[in-house]
Structures are given as structure tokens and as C-alpha cells.
Structure 1
Amino acid sequence: MNVRRVLPRDAIPSVDDPRFSETYGGSGDDEVISVGFADPPRAYPVRYLQFHEIVNDVVDDATDSSGGDATGGDATGGDPIAVTWCPLCGSGIVYDRTNADRTLEFGVSGKLADDDLVMYDRETGSEWKQSTGECIAGAFEGESLSVRPAAMLSVREFRDSYPDGVVLAPPGGESEAASDDDDPAPVDYDASPYEEYASSEGFGLAAHRGAAGQRKWEGPVNLDPKTVVVGVESDGDAVGFPVPWVRAAGGVRTTVGERDVVAFATKGGVHAYADPGHEFEVTDTGVAADGTTWDPATGTAADGRRLDRLPARRLYAFTWLDDHGPDAFYRPDSLE
């Protein structure tokens, strides 16, 4: 693993006191990290995350009876979570901030590990690789954060699925991501500092900066390094589901470790759920199963039922390859 410092610590500021709104000023096509288990459900726009990378939040969990204030991140009850985003790796992952009975608050270290965001916790200064959740240096070295279920949706999909949901309000402030050098500058959320990188062929920091020494793709020859992958891990097993391969298969039913998984591809990515045993058929209007139609992006059925979304990592293929190697990708039979 190649760990290097590229920015001063906290030059990209985490959001530590998030506020939420019932309205959103951006486009309905904007992507958000959706936390559907929160009460109310919460959406964190990538438009904001690209300037902040980490949101330290506390949510009420709709699946339990724990307390908490669902209007902001300064609650004294509920579940502490970290909503994390690495623009270089396209990795959106939500973690439990509780580790070894301590609640951690995360910041942006200014370091990269294999081109991935390195977070640090403010309690011990330990450093954590964002795409794996593993502590790579410090008091918790070798330990890993627990992944929470989350999805990458458009604002429109989030609204349709969660009419009572709330959206992160613009945090404001300054960020190095808004600057042409290493000094933070006032954030303009209408800007898109990674747009050119996301559409380019290269990957990693050198590609983003247009510098020499850009990385070469050493993964599957018929997969682009910035293909969106959703990674599911269970019982020591890890499988990454690339969007085009899941789409070509018309959806996937498989087992990861001892967990039965069903995965569907949409325009925006792949969504992985616990397999309920239905016979699913992908159609032009969604997914048909058990006498109703299901939305593959949200797991919601026309009759009100909802599939159980799995804890998963959304990221680019090159980062999944860095973390798990070339054999950890799902491949359709046509590619075997």
C-alpha cells in the first residue's frame, strides 16, 4: 500500500455539525448518498461531499428504538455514522463511527493510500483507509469500521422512495477542493472540480492533476478502471458487482460468504439486497416478482414492501482491485 501526504490535514474540512432541509436547491438528477435506515431518511449530495468528503452525523435508526435528534448531527442519542466520499475513487461508503465502545469523529488527513482518501479520527489520531474502513496506522491499527446500508441515488429517486426524507443543507466554508493550490478557498457548490476527471480515461491523483506517472490498469481487460462497482463482503468473502456485467446478466443471484444476494443494475449503479427468494424478472419498467413490480434502485415494491438493502461499498473498479485483487469481481458466464 502506497501512503503519501498530498495536502495539509483538514485542508478539506469534514462536516461535523450537519443540518438538513426538506428542500434541495440543485437538480433532481444530482447524486446523493442515501441513508434509508435513518428516521427520517437522509440524503447527502455528492455536490457537497466533493468539497468535504466526510460528514460526521448521528441518526435515529428506524429499525430500533434508540433516541436521538433527527434534525442535526449534535444529537446525544441515536447511531453515530460517518458518510464518506472519495472523489478520486468514486467511493461512497457509510460507516458506523462506534469502535471499541468509543464514538469517533473523523477528519480528512490530507494523505492518500493507493489514491484513496485516508481519514483520521480526532480521538486518537489513528488513520483509516476510506474504501476498506481499515485502520492502517495508530491505536486501532488492524481494526475495521462496520459498513452501514446506503445507496447512491438521484435526488429524484430519493424523493420518490422517501417522501418524508431530508437533504443535507449546504455546509459552506472553505475547502482545498475549491482552490487551485493547497490553500483552502471559499466553496462554490455550483462548481464541479472533479467533472473532467470523472469523464476521463485516466484514474488516480496523477490523472486528476494531469501529471506524469499515471497508473496503468491491471484489472480485467474488458472492464474500465472507473466502472462503478458495488462491493459486498461477508464471512471473509468479497464480491464486486460491476454495473455493465450485472446489467448484461439481467440481474444477479449469488452467494457471498454465507449471505444470499440479489443485485440489480440501474443507470446510476448497482444495488445489492438480501435475496428474499423471489423469482425476479427484469423488465422495461422495473423488476417483476411475487405478483408486483419492484424499483431496482430503491428496492421498493408497488405494494409497499421493501427489499433489505445490504451493507455495501460503492466505488470505482480500480479501487476494488487495489483492495481485493482481480478475482474478486463477479463475472457473467459469457465472460468466463
Structure 2
Amino acid sequence: MAKRGAMPSPKVVRASKQAYNEAFIRMNQPQASIESSLPPQVMLNSAKKSGAIDLDVDRVYDFLRAYQLELKTKRASWERKLCEEHGVSLMTVTILAGILRRCQTPSQQMLAKNLMLSASSLGEKSATFELIQSAINTGNLNKYQEQLQRLGLLAKKDHDPEAMMLLGKVLLSQGQNKEALLWLQKSTQPPTGNLQINGAGDALVNEGRILLQLGQTKEAENAFKKAALELDEPSGYFYLSQLQKSGTPDQKVYLLKAASSGILEACHNLGALELEEIEKRDQKPTSLQDYGMAKEWFDVAAADGFGLSMLNLALMHKAVGHEAESLAWLKKAQNLPEVKEQAIELRQKWSKTISSLP
């Protein structure tokens, strides 16, 4: 009878199992990470149904899995070869990146960024535009030098109007206002540009803002009018309202247009106009109902975090004897840097008259 080997001690058995488990985790971790980076199937189905992409979900997943594996090896020209092998266009890569940007996990966000960088490096200008716009929004332009170079070529060599517009926004974010104005105007005015490009309304508003800073009020108003009246740009209506005489019908119409599109400062300004009318009356309000639409507009703006509206609501509540509500609005306002000092000053001023003030 063959001798059986000696049974390992329990300690050795436990150590062996632990080593096996660790090896198993290491072996499967990359694949687990790859799978967790994929977008939800429902989002891909929605994109296919809308016509944004023309690939089946399985083909998308195969491509994204292969992409992540290749990303680790980075063979020469691997990105272009991979797209060709899977029949995926650069626009589709950009759209997939956009879908992943709407996902929540860090791994999905990282995959979105890598896909967008790949599409940009292969010449997809919409990916370059997305990366630059995102960098402007987050203040990280210095991290995207290659994309900035591509943007410059698209604007200066290819005379692409959308690239011109974005270059203007880059320069504006860097404080180079006069040069920014030049490119913004090139993007929206013939013979180099037009008002049909994506973001033309925003370009006109930025143009108007720069012109205001330069003291060219009439030219600024013309830019805002184009943005608002020709392109229905909400911020165009808001800035146009700022150039109207206070309380005029035109100003109210422009503010209503801006407020209906969610511009909080427009909501606040409408409340301020209503409050001015109330304060002109001989009889002071004795209840919140007496403030009418002024309170309604301040409520809308304050609910979404507009500090000046919070201060006005605090003042209104105090005026009608609602001390607790008044203090509650002041407390909220103190959490906002832009009105913190004003809120503290009001609390100190009221400390002698409001008994419940800590």
C-alpha cells in the first residue's frame, strides 16, 4: 500500500488557502475592474434607440473591455487599430465617453476621460472641444496642453468657427479679454463665422460682457440683443435687462425670460423690483402675504441657494414678526461666502431686539 503523505498542519492549511485566495483576487481584479467601468445597459439601449450610436450593447461592451486591456499595454497605434477592428467610429467613442461621464463611479469617470482623450488624439474635434470646455469649467486648462494645441490649429489653420469660439472662451478665462473678443467675434460674424454654430448665443453673451468692460455699452447691447432675440439665449435676456431703465416693461419682460430658464439672479431681481413697488406705498406690510410676488421670487431664488434672496427673506420675516424664520434664513445665508459677512452683520444688529438670538 502506498504511503500517504503526511497531513499538513491546520496552520499550513490556513496559510495555503489564504495564499490561494490572494492569488485568485489578484488574477481576477483587473477583469472585475474592467466590468465595473462599463456603462449600464439601459443607457446604451437608450443611446441606440435615439440613434446616437448604431452598435449593439454586446459590441459596445466588447469594445470597451478590449479598450481597457489595450490601455494597459499601449501598443503602437493601438487606439486606431482597435477602433478599426471593432468597427467603432471616433464619434461613437466620443458619445460613449459622454455616456460614461453621466455615470457615478470613479472607474467609469476614468474610462470616460481616457476615451475622450483617445478620440481627441485621433482627430475627433468634438472630443477636443468637450475636453477643453470641461477644463475651462474646472479651471484645469494647464493639464490639457496637447488639446489646446489642437484647438489652436482648428481655429487658426482650419478656420473652424466652433474652435474660434472655444479659443475665445479659453482666452477669456485667462484674462486676455481683447484677444478673446477678437476670436469670439470671428466665430459669430461673417466671413469667418455664423450664428448657426453650437454655443453661438453664449459666444455673443461673452462678447457683450467684454464690450461692457471696455465701456462700449451700445455695442454690448447689440451683442446681447442678438443672443436673446435671435437665438433665445437665457443669459442674453438677463444681461439685456441690466441695460434697461429700472422697472420698465422691457426690463421685466427680459427678466421673466431669463428667470423662466432658471437664472437665479433674474428671479432675485424680479423680487427686488416687486419689493421696490411695495416700499413706495404708504402702508407697510403686516404679513408675508402683503409682500406678494416679491416673496415668491425670493423664495424661488433662495431655494436654489441665492444668498441675497435669503437675506431679503430674513428681513421680510423680521418685519412681520417671524423671528424664528428670520434667523433660519440668516443661518443659511451665513454658509454662503458671498453673503456671509452681511448675514453676520444683521445677526449682530438684531441681537439686542430678538430675544431668541444665541
TM-score, normalised to structure 2, is: 0.25
| Rg (Cα) greater in structure | 2
Structure showing the higher strand proportion among its residues: 1
Structure showing the higher helix proportion among its residues: 2
> Which structure ranks higher in relative contact order (CA pairs < 8 Å, sequence separation ≥ 6)?
1
